[in-house]
Structures are given as structure tokens and as C-alpha cells.
């Protein structure tokens, strides 16, 4: 034994690199940590300048603040001491504005290490006669002094200057921290009387190149390090006519006269365009949540003036629920704006990056909540699934009438009106004191996903679902009124038509009302059966008459559609039955019967007969469609099996192609060369058709409704007809913008629509023809137009082409088929079930025919 020793711990200089990678996730996080240091130093302004950031060797990154600065002693004991306790002891508040400290682990210096290899620090501090920091002394002597008054006193004080340089590469060249001799310099002295307090950090020899895309993303995140003004300031009465829970949310735990902190950009940090003013002006609903200590959580929602104009049935609503942990938290304020509908093209990319509900702690952004593709509240998940299970929170209390209406709303009506993340612009504001056990992850990005975090998610989700239900109820009420108005118009039209028919039959000796058969038909169907037995009757006689837009029973298609549209057969039947129900006294979209309405508005026999005929005509169409669908379903089942077999031919075609490949030094006969070209064409055709059929015929295409990328789907449809178009020398043009997305559809449905329209366009375009597909986003949905040269179709005479079997194609094409006249009816039915329309419209110059597809939101 040699005796007891007292060895010392040694710390490897690689600790900086390891801790930096662990505690600082990304460059934007590192810069925010430096800004937080300035905030903790009572800065009111931070200037961020970047120069030559795409060249790491010459790049310079500068961070300047107007805070209290540091003396040389503070620099040694704070900045140069790892895990310093200065911010973890006592009240943890800044001396001037009494801000709650946001830093505690010494991450600031590690952030500087992550960004650059060389750091220069210049810091000026106001001091007393003994050289001690004056701000701290004044706060201790006058604890009740206002921050603005204390800041004024500091302006006339003496100042010290400290200048330091830290070369991290030189420091890390030493084995341990005790071996460091180079790489760390400090010089201290007195500063000029005119010098303002504050700290300047100059970072050079950056760790990596910052590309333009990196800069855009970084500046966007830094611009959002504080919540936008529209979410933290009083909402103007011109936007929100009625106050909710609070004029301004509690954002930070700071003194009442704290002016806050402002971030300015210079140099390579170009300030990006922002549209928060537009968001506030065009938002339709506002939700506010307040979760305070010891009381119930409060929720308050209201439509804005824009929302009132869009839907007069929107109503303000207040509710509350017990706080799950009223003594522990989390406690917070939240303000969330809903902005449904089409996003202006100029704002599309900005909205994608800035929408969502974000989380702030002491006023600083907590990543990644609210980032693109971050779905911490499951908004996109619910929107995509739309399973219908969205019950209102059973613990909610409030106005019984309002909540009862929300609870009675059918789950389907709620799920169909759910909104994705991009429709929300909001913030949840937490303070350190009210965080309720929430712990940030070691890399400063997000909270530990424990029960405290789940509690926060649940509390915010209640409010988000509440406002979506309120919006759904308003939409449902508006729909009821609109359908009631349409029902009255259709009933009036039916009565007028019936009266006209009655007058004509009396005058000409035709059938009277009593002579109409028991089925309510007028004999036209029987006449058609007799015609079909006539030897002179053939398919050509069933070609569409340009002037005939009837359904086969003497009723106009526009009447069946109800509102000037011709929806799918199922939608027509549902609409006709709804009209009859309302006519008889039933409540729209409800099983409830309104005796008062039935007594006051008792329909006449003529009105009832007209309504019943509409139902019978729509039923007959549905029966015909159902029969046809059974046949097509059988074909589809076989097509799915064929698709699998077809995909297995691709490897075989590849082998055949490779076997016929040219061999250096060998001259193949011309027949082999032609065979190789033929096999290559065959392989490409099989790949195209297999890819297309997988989209169309397999269950994957109908797994869930999603917003389909239109340009991508048009390209996929083009591939299927590439060979047929090439044989006819037809040019295909896809002019749809890449950003255009449909409302939620099944992929297979959109593919079927495009296939039918393009198939018809190719047949009509003729040799050397041209086909163009365009699309645009509307406030109410999406519009697609398919145009072709060649055969012209006059829009006013085109409705007949939407009748089944209305085809004039006689030539059989291996890709396009002969044509059964089913493409347009099927297309209209598919879009009609979404409430959309398909019509021929006037083509643009250079085209002969155009067909328009409107898909509503």
C-alpha cells in the first residue's frame, strides 16, 4: 500500500463535440439557443447577419444583442464553466425585466461549437464602482423597480469591455481540458462611456456549407421562434366581432413592462415573405383555450366576420371540462385560427411551411410541433382516415342547447368536414412555471413523450375537435336550408309540369290523370318495348338526339339533378326521395316528422304524382346502373387476376430482350434486329399497362381517400395510352401544375375518370391530333379540362353522350377498345357521388372539343 491519494477527474476535450451533437439537434436550434441567451440577458433586439454562408471557409455569422452583457468575471464563471449553476439557483429570473430564464444547461456555448470552429466574443456590461454587474445590484436593492426604469439607470453607468476568442479545433487538439493552453484568449478593460451594453458573437469557419434551401428553411424557423402577432395581440373587432377568453394570451412569465425581444435579419438571411395578415383576415373560426391552476379548462370558439358571411348558421360556443391534474398542470393559453377552403396560389408554399398548431415555451418555439408533416394532434391522420368515430368529449359542460346540438350531429357529418393540419394556424403557450412536469428532450427538440405530454395533447385535442364539430353543425344547418329551398323549387316545377300535362291531355283527348296506370308511368316504356320488337328497330335508332335530354320517362335530367347538375344515379335517387320526404312533412336529413309543416304545406295530388315519378325514374336508372355494375364487377375481378399475370410477363420480356442484345464483333441478321426492337416495345408496353392496371384494378387504389396529385395521375394515364397516341401521331400535353391536389378521392376513381376521358379524346382527335389536360384550384374545389382536336361536340347538344351505349365507335383498337358508350356515364357517376359535375364546355382556340370536370371540396 502506498497510502491514500486524491486523484482528480479529467475531462476529454471531445466532450464539447459529443455534448453539442447530443444537446443541439439542428442549426436552427443552435441559433435559437444563442437568441435565448440574449433574451436571458434582457436584450430587446437581436440582429442576425450572415455573409458568404455557402462558403464555409469565408463565411461569417454574427449575432448582436443589446442585453446587459457580461463582465470578464461573469464570462469566466458563466460562459467558460460547464453546467454553471447561475441560472438554476434562486428565482431564475433576469435582473432587468424579470424574465424567467430559458437556459439552464450551458447549451449556448455548445450551440456555438456546433455552428462554427472559431468564436469571437465582444461583450460590454454596466458596472458599479467595484466592477460588479450593476443590473444585479440594482435589482437586489430595488426589487419592485420597473424594468424600464432600471434599464434607464444602466445607460449612465460605467462599463467594462471583455473580448475573447475560442478556437474549438485548437482546444480539441489537447487531450484533456486541463491540458488546454492554446485556443482560448481573454482580454478585459474599460469600455467607452458611449458604448452600449450588449454582446456580439462572431462565428467563422462554419462546420458546413449552407445551401439556399437550408437558408430558407432556417430563416423560416427563426422567423417563427416567436409566435406571430396575430396570435398574441388583441384580435381586431374587424376580424372577430366578439371577445373570447382573453384579449391577449399569457405568452411569457415576465415583468409587466417587458418590451419583449425582436429579431432582425441582414445579409444572407433574407427575410421571407409572410402572409400572417392574410391568415388573420381570412380565418373563419377562432378557438381559445385557457387551462389555469385550480380551475376547469375553458374552451371558447366563435366564427369571425368572414365566417359569418360564409355561413350564417355559425354560432359562438363556450364550454369547460375538469382539468385532469388541476394542481400540477400543464397550464397554458392557446389561440387557434381555422382557415378552411382553397389556399391562394401565392400563399401555397408559405402555408405548407407555416400552418399547423405550434407549441411555445416562455415564448420560444418548441420544435418540431407544427412543422410540416408533424402531426402531433393527429389532425392529418383523422382527416385521411375519416372513420366517423369522432365523439364529443363526455366531460364537456356548458350551454345545454348548444352542446346537445353538437352531440346529436351524426358522426358521418363530422368526419366529412374534418380539416387537415394546413387549415389550422395556432399556438399553445406554456411557461416554465405552468409546464406541469413537461421535460424537453436532450436535443432541445420536443418533449419527453410521457403522461404529462399525453395530457397536453388530450387537452388541446378536445378544443380542436369541439371547433370542428361546431363548424360541421353550421355546415349541416346550411345544407338543410339549401336542400329545403331546392325541394320547394322542384316541387313547384313538378306541379307546374303536371298542371301543364293535365291541360294538354284534356284539350287533345289524351289520357287523363285517372287513366295513368298503377305504376305512375305514362305508357312511354310500353311504347319502347313495342318499338324494340319491330324489325326496323336497331341500335342506331338509340343514338342520342341532340335535342333529347330526357331520362326515358319524359323527365329532364336537370330536374333529376335538382340543382342544374346531373349526379350519379344513386345521388339522384337519394335527392328525389329527400324531396318527397320534405314535401310530405319530414325534416330534411332527419327521421323526425313535422306535423305542422305537413298541415300547412299539404301537397296536392299533382305535386305528389310528380314527386313520385321523379323517384320512380331515378330508381329505374339505379336499377339499370346496378345491373351494369354487376357485369363490370365480374370483368374487374378477372382484370385483377389478369393484372397479376401481366406483371409476371415483365421479367420474361426482359430476358428475351437481353438474349437478343447486340454482341460486340457479331453481326446479327436483320430479322434478329427487328425482333429485338419488337421485344423492347413489348416489354415497355407491358410495363406501362401493368403499372396502370395496378393503380386501377387492385385494392390499393381504393384503400383510402386522399388528396391526389393531379399532374402525377394524368402522367400515369398518359402512359397507358402512349402507344395508341404514337400510332396516330397524337401529341399529349399535361399542363396541370405540380402543386394541384384534388379533394379526398380514391386513387382508382380518379384514374378511371382520366382513363375514360383520355380514351375518348384519343379516339376523337384523329391522326396528327392534339390533346391537352389543364387544371386549376377553385375556392369550391378543383376544375379539370380535357381538350382534343378532331371531332367536334357542341356543348349545348352534348348531354346525349352521357347515356349508356351512346357510342359511334366501330373500329376495334387493342388499347382503346371498340367503345361501349359507358366511359362518360361512368365518369359522371363517379364524380357525381362526390357532388361534382362533368359537362362538355366550349373549347379553347385550336381544339374542337372540351370536357370539364368539377370536383367540389
- What pLDDT was estimated at residue 558? 32
- What pLDDT was estimated at residue 625? 58
Backbone phi, then psi, for 511, in 5-degree steps? -60, 140
pLDDT at 815 over 50: no
15-173+181-206 matches 703-857 in fold: yes
Please state, rounded to an integer, the average pLDDT across all residues of the chain. Answer: 76
372 band by pLDDT with thresholds 50, 70 and 90: confident
Vertex 568: Cα angle to 565 and 571 (nearest 5): 85
Lowest-pLDDT choice from 62-66, 440-444, 464-468, 539-543: 539-543
pLDDT at 520 over 50: no
Q: Residue 851 burial by CB count (10 A; 0-12/13-18/19+): exposed, middle or buried?
A: buried
Q: Where is pLDDT greater, at 513 or 470?
A: 470
Question: In the chain, what percentage of residues exceed pLDDT 90?
Answer: 25
Torsion angle (degrees, nearest 10) of CA 543, 544, 548, 550: 90
The residues with which 854 forms a beta bridge, in sequence order, are 783, 837
Average pLDDT, integer, range 262-271: 79
Neighbours of 379 (CB within 10 A): 22
- What pLDDT was estimated at residue 156? 80
> How far apart are alpha carbons 352 and 362 in whole angstroms?
25
15-173+181-206, CATH topology level:
Heat Shock Protein 90 (3.30.565)
Question: Which of 69-83, 128-142, 303-317 is the most confident on average?
Answer: 303-317
What's domain 703-857's architecture?
2-Layer Sandwich (3.30)
The answer to whether residues 736 and 714 touch, using CB atoms and an 8 Å cutoff, is yes
Domain spans in the chain, listed from the N-terminal domain onward = 15-173+181-206, 273-480, 549-697, 703-857
Neighbours of 763 (CB within 10 A): 24
pLDDT at 511 over 60: no
Cα–Cα nearest to 354, from 279, 267, 264, 297: 279
64 band by pLDDT with thresholds 50, 70 and 90: very high
Q: Where is pLDDT greater, at 178 or 816?
A: 178
pLDDT at 832 over 50: yes
- What pLDDT was estimated at residue 620? 62
pLDDT at 262 over 70: yes
Average pLDDT, integer, range 520-543: 35
486 band by pLDDT with thresholds 50, 70 and 90: confident
- What pLDDT was estimated at residue 556? 33
545 band by pLDDT with thresholds 50, 70 and 90: very low
The residues with which 189 forms a beta bridge, in sequence order, are 161
Question: Which of 324-338, 615-629, 662-676, 727-741 is the most confident on average?
Answer: 324-338
- What pLDDT was estimated at residue 174? 83
Average pLDDT, integer, range 544-548: 35
Lowest-pLDDT choice from 52-56, 395-399, 820-824: 820-824
Sequence-ordered list of residues with C-beta below 8 angstroms from that of 479, at least 6 positions apart, any chain? 589
pLDDT at 807 over 60: no
- What pLDDT was estimated at residue 377? 93
The answer to whether residues 425 and 354 touch, using CB atoms and an 8 Å cutoff, is yes
- What pLDDT was estimated at residue 222? 74
Q: What is the pLDDT of residues 669-706, one digit of tens each?
A: 767 777 777 777 776 666 555 555 555 544 444 456 78
Q: What is the pLDDT of residues 70-119, one digit of tens each?
A: 999 988 887 777 655 554 455 678 899 888 888 655 566 777 888 888 99
> How far apart are alpha carbons 47 and 34 in whole angstroms?
11
Lowest-pLDDT choice from 47-56, 348-357, 486-495: 486-495
| Cα 667 to chain centroid, rounded | 59
| Cα 351 to chain centroid, rounded | 8
> How far apart are alpha carbons 750 and 708 in whole angstroms?
8
835 band by pLDDT with thresholds 50, 70 and 90: confident
606 band by pLDDT with thresholds 50, 70 and 90: low
| Cα 393 to chain centroid, rounded | 25
Q: What is the pLDDT of residues 401-443, one digit of tens each?
A: 678 888 878 777 787 788 999 999 999 999 988 998 898 887 6
- What pLDDT was estimated at residue 406? 85
Return the percent helix, strand and coil in the chain, to nearest 5.
Answer: 45, 20, 40
The residues with which 125 forms a beta bridge, in sequence order, are 160
Average pLDDT, integer, range 516-527: 33
Q: What is the pLDDT of residues 698-744, one digit of tens each?
A: 444 445 678 889 998 888 888 778 778 888 889 989 999 989 999 88
Which of the 8 DSSP states describes residue 790?
A: S
Alpha carbon separation from 620 to 59, 457, 525 (Å, rounded): 75, 51, 11
Cα–Cα nearest to 37, from 119, 111, 124, 103: 103
Cα–Cα nearest to 801, from 763, 748, 854: 763
- What pLDDT was estimated at residue 164? 92
SS3 state of residue 619: helix
DSSP letter for each residue of 540-560: GGGSPPTT--B-SSS-BHHHH
Could you tell me the strand order of the sheet in which 424-430 lies?
A: 364-365, 356-361, 424-430, 332-338, 285-291, 297-303, 317-321, 397-398
The answer to whether residues 41 and 456 touch, using CB atoms and an 8 Å cutoff, is no
> How far apart are alpha carbons 200 and 436 in whole angstroms?
35
- What pLDDT was estimated at residue 552? 33
> How far apart are alpha carbons 560 and 575 in whole angstroms?
8
Q: Where is pLDDT greater, at 499 or 46?
A: 46
- What pLDDT was estimated at residue 648? 56
The answer to whether residues 305 and 389 touch, using CB atoms and an 8 Å cutoff, is no
- What pLDDT was estimated at residue 438? 92
Vertex 272: Cα angle to 271 and 277 (nearest 5): 110
- What pLDDT was estimated at residue 776? 93
582 band by pLDDT with thresholds 50, 70 and 90: low
Q: Where is pLDDT greater, at 515 or 637?
A: 637
Angle at which helix 451-508 crosses helix 569-583, to 10 degrees, equals 80
For the record, the C-alpha cell of 372 comes out as: 410540416
Vertex 171: Cα angle to 168 and 172 (nearest 5): 85
The answer to whether residues 86 and 78 touch, using CB atoms and an 8 Å cutoff, is yes
Amino acid at each position: 500500500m502506498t497510502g491514500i491519494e486524491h486523484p482528480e477527474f479529467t475531462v476529454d476535450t471531445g466532450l464539447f463535440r459529443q455534448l453539442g451533437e447530443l444537446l443541439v439537434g439542428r442549426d436552427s436550434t443552435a441559433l435559437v439557443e444563442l437568441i435565448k441567451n440574449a433574451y436571458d440577458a434582457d436584450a430587446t433586439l437581436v440582429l442576425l447577419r450572415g455573409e458568404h454562408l455557402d462558403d464555409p471557409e469565408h463565411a461569417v455569422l454574427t449575432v448582436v444583442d443589446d442585453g446587459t452583457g457580461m463582465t470578464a468575471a461573469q464570462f469566466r464563471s458563466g460562459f467558460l464553466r460547464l453546467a454553471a449553476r447561475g441560472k438554476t439557483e434562486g428565482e431564475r429570473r433576469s435582473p432587468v425585466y424579470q424574465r424567467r430564464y430559458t437556459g439552464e444547461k450551458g447549451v449556448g456555448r455548445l450551440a456555438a461549437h456546433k455552428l462554427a470552429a472559431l468564436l469571437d466574443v465582444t461583450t460590454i456590461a454596466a458596472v458599479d464602482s467595484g466592477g460588479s454587474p450593476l443590473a444585479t445590484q440594482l435589482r437586489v436593492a430595488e426589487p419592485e423597480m420597473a424594468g424600464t426604469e432600471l434599464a434607464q439607470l444602466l445607460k449612465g453607468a460605467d462599463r467594462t469591455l471583455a473580448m475573447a476568442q475560442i478556437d474549438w479545433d485548437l482546444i480539441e487538439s489537447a487531450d484533456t481540458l486541463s491540458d488546454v493552453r492554446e485556443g482560448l484568449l481573454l482580454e478585459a478593460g474599460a469600455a467607452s462611456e458611449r458604448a452600449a451594453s450588449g454582446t456580439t458573437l462572431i462565428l467563422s469557419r462554419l462546420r458546413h456549407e449552407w445551401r439556399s434551401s437550408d437558408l430558407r428553411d432556417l430563416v423560416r424557423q427563426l422567423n417563427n421562434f416567436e409566435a406571430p402577432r396575430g396570435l398574441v395581440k388583441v384580435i381586431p373587432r374587424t376580424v372577430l366581432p366578439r371577445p373570447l377568453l382573453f384579449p391577449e394570451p399569457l405568452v411569457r412569465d415576465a415583468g409587466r413592462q417587458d418590451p419583449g425581444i425582436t429579431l432582425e435579419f441582414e445579409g444572407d438571411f433574407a427575410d421571407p415573405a409572410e402572409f400572417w395578415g392574410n391568415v388573420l383576415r381570412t380565418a373563419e373560426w377562432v378557438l381559445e383555450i385557457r387551462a389555469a391552476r385550480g380551475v376547469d379548462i375553458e374552451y371558447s370558439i366563435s366564427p369571425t366576420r368572414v365566417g359569418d358571411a360564409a355561413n350564417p348558421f355559425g354560432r359562438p360556443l363556450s364550454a369547460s371540462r375538469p382539468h385532469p391534474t388541476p394542481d400540477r398542470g400543464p397550464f397554458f393559453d392557446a389561440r387557434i385560427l381555422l382557415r378552411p377552403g382553397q389556399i391562394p396560389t401565392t400563399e401555397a408554399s408559405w402555408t405548407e411551411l407555416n400552418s399547423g398548431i405550434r407549441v411555445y415555451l416562455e415564448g420560444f418555439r418548441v420544435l418540431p410541433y407544427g412543422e410540416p408533416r408533424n402531426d402531433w394532434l393527429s389532425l392529418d391522420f383523422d382527416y385521411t382516415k375519416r372513420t366517423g368515430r369522432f365523439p364529443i368529449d363526455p366531460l364537456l359542460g356548458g350551454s345545454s342547447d348548444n352542446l346537445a346540438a353538437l352531440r346529436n350531429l351524426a358522426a358521418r357529418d363530422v368526419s366529412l368536414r374534418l380539416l387537415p393540419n394546413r387549415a389550422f394556424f395556432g399556438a399553445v403557450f406554456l411557461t416554465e412555471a405552468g409546464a406541469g412536469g413537461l421535460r424537453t428532450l436532450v436535443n432541445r427538440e420536443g418533449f419527453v413523450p410521457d403522461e404529462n405530454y399525453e395530457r397536453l395533447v388530450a387537452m388541446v385535442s378536445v378544443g380542436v375537435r369541439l371547433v370542428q364539430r361546431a363548424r360541421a353543425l353550421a355546415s349541416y344547418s346550411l345544407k338543410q336550408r339549401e336542400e329545403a329551398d331546392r325541394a320547394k323549387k322542384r316541387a313547384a316545377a313538378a306541379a307546374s309540369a303536371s298542371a301543364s300535362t293535365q291541360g294538354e291531355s284534356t284539350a287533345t283527348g289524351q289520357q287523363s290523370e285517372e287513366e295513368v296506370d298503377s305504376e305512375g308511368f305514362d305508357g312511354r316504356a310500353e311504347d319502347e318495348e313495342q318499338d324494340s320488337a319491330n324489325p326496323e328497330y336497331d341500335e342506331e335508332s338509340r343514338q342520342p338526339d341532340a335535342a333529347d335530354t330526357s331520362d326515358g320517362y319524359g323527365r329532364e335530367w336537370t330536374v333529376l339533378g335538382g340543382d342544374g347538375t346531373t349526379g350519379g344515379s344513386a345521388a339522384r335517387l337519394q335527392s328525389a326521395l329527400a324531396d318527397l320526404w320534405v314535401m310530405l312533412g319530414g325534416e330534411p336529413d332527419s327521421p323526425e316528422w313535422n306535423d305542422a309543416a305537413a298541415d300547412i304545406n299539404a301537397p296536392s295530388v299533382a305535386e305528389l304524382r310528380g314527386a313520385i315519378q321523379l323517384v320512380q325514374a331515378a330508381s329505374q336508372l339505379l336499377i339499370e346502373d346496378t345491373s351494369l355494375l354487376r357485369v363490370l364487377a365480374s370483368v374487374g375481378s378477372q382484370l385483377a387476376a389478369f393484372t397479376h399475370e401481366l406483371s409476371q410477363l415483365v421479367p420474361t420480356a426482359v430476358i428475351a430482350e437481353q438474349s437478343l442484345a447486340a454482341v460486340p464483333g457479331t453481326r446479327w441478321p436483320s430479322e434478329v434486329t427487328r425482333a429485338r426492337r419488337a421485344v423492347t416495345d413489348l416489354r415497355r408496353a407491358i410495363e406501362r399497362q401493368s403499372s396502370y392496371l395496378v393503380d386501377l384494378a387492385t385494392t390499393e387504389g381504393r384503400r383510402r381517400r386522399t388528396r391526389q396529385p393531379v399532374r402525377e395521375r394524368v402522367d400515369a394515364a398518359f402512359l397507358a395510352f402512349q402507344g395508341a397516341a404514337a400510332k396516330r401521331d397524337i401529341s399529349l400535353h399535361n399542363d396541370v401544375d405540380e402543386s394541384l391536389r384534388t379533394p379526398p378521392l380514391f386513387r382508382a376513381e380518379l384514374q378511371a375518370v382520366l382513363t375514360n376521358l383520355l380514351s375518348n379524346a384519343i379516339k376523337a382527335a384523329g391522326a396528327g391530333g392534339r390533346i391537352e389536360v389543364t387544371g386549376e384550384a377553385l375556392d369550391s374545389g378543383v376544375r379539370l379540362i380535357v381538350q382534343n382536336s378532331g371531332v367536334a361536340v357542341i356543348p349545348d347538344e352534348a348531354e346525349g353522350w352521357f347515356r349508356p351505349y351512346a357510342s359511334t365507335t366501330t373500329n376495334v383498337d387493342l388499347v382503346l377498345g371498340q367503345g361501349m358508350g359507358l366511359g362518360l356515364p361512368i365518369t359522371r357517376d363517379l364524380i357525381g357521388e362526390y357532388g361534382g359535375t362533368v359537362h362538355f364546355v366550349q373549347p379553347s382556340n385550336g381544339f374542337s372539343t372540351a370536357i370539364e370536370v368539377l370536383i367540389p371540396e
